[in-house]
Amino acid sequence: KYMKISNSDTFDPITRNSGQACKTEEYEQDLGADKFPRYIRHVRCVNVGVDCKANEGTFSCKQTMIFKNILSKDNFLALKAEADQSSPAEFFDFWKKTEQQIGVGCECSKF
């Protein structure tokens, strides 16, 4: 799981082979209160471009990315639902779908 809603939620642990050629590190990004989900976990490739197969020279570490849809709150627009005489008017936030690029790993691949 790469996304969470509140800061108190936890991410699923990532397990990797201890002898992998490409090193990675994890970090959490807070997208802000106007995004849903608010928190994203990224996996960053530490040694991008470094040879990862010493005997073959044409392999290097490359960042692996995915794109996920998130919701972004539009603070300038609110939709008003017309109410009848017996109930008050209701206001709703307007959200738009946007793509978020997420780093998910690092792979040794031929260039």
pLDDT tens-place string over residues 46-65: 877 777 876 666 788 888 89
d(CA 94, CA 4): 21
Confidence of residue 21 (pLDDT cuts 50, 70, 90): confident
The arithmetic mean of pLDDT across residues 59-85, rounded, is: 79
Mean confidence (pLDDT) of the chain: 79
Do 58 and 102 contact (CB within 8 A), yes or no?
no
The per-residue pLDDT for 91 is 72
3-state secondary structure of 6: coil
Amino acid at 8: S
